[in-house]
Amino acid sequence: MRASIGEKEVEPYNPNEHPKVKYFKAKARLRDRVKAKSKDNLTLGSTLAAICCMDLNLNPLNIGELS
Protein backbone atom coordinates (compact mmCIF):
# COMPACT_ATOMS: atom_id res chain seq x y z
CA MET A 1 0.00 0.00 0.00
CA ARG A 2 2.71 2.48 0.90
CA ALA A 3 4.56 1.92 -2.34
CA SER A 4 1.45 2.89 -4.27
CA ILE A 5 1.28 6.29 -2.56
CA GLY A 6 4.96 7.07 -2.95
CA GLU A 7 6.49 6.15 0.40
CA LYS A 8 9.64 4.06 0.19
CA GLU A 9 10.30 0.96 2.22
CA VAL A 10 13.52 0.84 4.24
CA GLU A 11 15.70 -2.08 3.23
CA PRO A 12 17.63 -3.88 5.98
CA TYR A 13 21.41 -3.55 5.94
CA ASN A 14 23.21 -6.41 4.19
CA PRO A 15 26.92 -6.66 5.16
CA ASN A 16 27.65 -9.05 2.25
CA GLU A 17 26.53 -6.61 -0.43
CA HIS A 18 28.74 -5.87 -3.41
CA PRO A 19 30.65 -2.56 -3.07
CA LYS A 20 29.10 -1.16 -6.25
CA VAL A 21 25.60 -1.84 -4.91
CA LYS A 22 26.52 -0.04 -1.67
CA TYR A 23 27.85 2.90 -3.69
CA PHE A 24 24.70 3.23 -5.80
CA LYS A 25 22.42 2.93 -2.77
CA ALA A 26 24.41 5.65 -1.00
CA LYS A 27 24.07 7.89 -4.08
CA ALA A 28 20.32 7.24 -4.15
CA ARG A 29 20.00 8.18 -0.47
CA LEU A 30 21.98 11.38 -1.09
CA ARG A 31 19.76 12.22 -4.07
CA ASP A 32 16.65 11.65 -1.96
CA ARG A 33 17.96 13.89 0.85
CA VAL A 34 18.79 16.70 -1.59
CA LYS A 35 15.40 16.35 -3.26
CA ALA A 36 13.62 16.46 0.11
CA LYS A 37 15.43 19.71 1.01
CA SER A 38 14.52 21.32 -2.28
CA LYS A 39 11.57 23.68 -2.05
CA ASP A 40 11.08 23.61 -5.81
CA ASN A 41 9.25 20.36 -6.48
CA LEU A 42 8.48 20.95 -10.14
CA THR A 43 8.84 17.95 -12.36
CA LEU A 44 9.16 17.89 -16.12
CA GLY A 45 5.60 16.61 -16.42
CA SER A 46 4.13 19.40 -14.29
CA THR A 47 6.16 22.00 -16.19
CA LEU A 48 4.91 20.72 -19.55
CA ALA A 49 1.34 20.67 -18.27
CA ALA A 50 1.65 24.27 -17.11
CA ILE A 51 3.09 25.35 -20.48
CA CYS A 52 0.29 23.59 -22.34
CA CYS A 53 -2.30 25.41 -20.22
CA MET A 54 -0.81 28.87 -20.96
CA ASP A 55 -2.46 29.08 -24.38
CA LEU A 56 0.85 29.34 -26.24
CA ASN A 57 -0.31 26.89 -28.92
CA LEU A 58 1.84 24.20 -27.37
CA ASN A 59 0.56 20.73 -26.64
CA PRO A 60 2.09 17.30 -26.09
CA LEU A 61 1.74 16.57 -29.82
CA ASN A 62 3.85 19.48 -31.08
CA ILE A 63 6.23 20.09 -28.14
CA GLY A 64 8.83 17.76 -29.68
CA GLU A 65 9.02 19.85 -32.85
CA LEU A 66 10.46 22.86 -30.99
CA SER A 67 14.17 23.43 -30.70
Domain that holds residue 62: 41-67
52 part of a folded domain: yes
45 part of a folded domain: yes
Which residue did the predictor score with more confidence, 65 or 52? 65
Q: Which pLDDT value is given to residue 49?
A: 78
65 part of a folded domain: yes
Q: Which pLDDT value is given to residue 45?
A: 80
Query: What pTM does this model have?
Result: 0.45
pLDDT in tens, 25-58: 999 989 888 888 877 777 788 887 787 777 777 7
Report the 3 state secondary structure along the chain. Answer: CCHHHCCCCCCCCCCCCCHHHHHHHHHHHHHHHHHHHCCCCCCHHHHHHHHHCCCCCCCCCCHHHCC
59 part of a folded domain: yes
34 part of a folded domain: no
2 part of a folded domain: no
47 part of a folded domain: yes
Looking at the 3D structure of the chain, how many domains does it have? 1
